[in-house]
Amino acid sequence: MSSSMKQRMILVVAVIAVGVVMLACAGGTLLGRKAEPTSTPTKTPKPTFTITPTPTETPIPTDTPTPTFTPTPVTPTNTPVVYTATPTPEPPTDTPVPTDTPAPTNTPKPKPPAAKWSIVEQRLVRVGEDAQTCEGGNLQIRVMVIGPNGNQLSGVWVHDMYSGQDQVTGNVESPDWGPGETKFEYGQGGGGKLCITTGQGGPCESPYTRDMPCFDPPPFEDMWAAGYCNCCGSEAASNKELCRQIYDAHSESNKCVGWWGHYSWRVVFKRNW
């Protein structure tokens, strides 16, 4: 039997008990009224028994059912479907067969910048030039420095490797010498090898000249080019091999060529830019 049924039966029993007590009280009152002539003391009514209702049991909570989710129907809207076309890959094309690579053309290489200085002349002075004779000369090197247009340049320093001299153009006070000229003079056994320097005592900024002996016999080719074989007679002047034999002999009986003496040279430096 469930607890709720028990509670209902207990309430019914209690109500019935209360009703019986009330009917008994009412019946006693009616009987007393009929016997009024005899003054009989009334009984003190006994205290009525009040039934205290038995406390009901607190119902044990039952498991609350989990509410079920009822989906709310959504009215579908007409959403347009966007169609994106996927590009179809093109079939691979035939790979071209490599052709013969043309041979590279001869691309001209850029020219390096021109040197600042160049030597345009370095020669033995000829017989009859600058007071040179078959028997002697000035034992000197005469230097001229010119610009790109051939004009003489003054104030240019020139250095001799062997003697250590430094000379500057324009320092010769003579009407026979130009503003771009200077000279190096030597004694016995002298000679020079020259270059243009950045200044007095400075480093060379041009190439060095060749060796130019002023006392010892210059090389035979220089002697031949300068006409020294003419000093040995007409036959040696026209016969190079004969003149060479005389040169190589260095005979005291024939000092016309290849003998120690006084020789002079000429040098021209040119500035290129």
Predicted pLDDT at 254: 78
Secondary structure (3-state) at 138: coil
Predicted pLDDT at 51: 46
- Strand 264-271 to strand 194-196: parallel, antiparallel, or no bridges (unpaired)? unpaired
Residues pairing with 182 in the sheet: 143
Beta-carbon contacts of 157 under 8 Å, excluding residues fewer than 6 positions away, are 166, 167, 168, 196, 197, 198, 199, 200, 202
Instruction: Give backbone dihedrals phi and psi of 45, rounded to 5 degrees, phi first.
Output: -60, 135
Predicted pLDDT at 19: 66
The DSSP secondary-structure symbol of 91 reads: P
Q: Which residues of the chain have pLDDT under 50?
A: 28-41, 47-56, 59, 61, 69, 74, 76, 81-83
Predicted pLDDT at 36: 43
Q: Distance (Å, rounded) from C-alpha 133 to C-alpha 130? A: 9
Q: Distance (Å, rounded) from C-alpha 258 to C-alpha 236? A: 13
142, two tokens = 């005469």
Comparing C-alpha atoms, which of 211, 213, 210, 224 is closest to residue 257?
A: 224
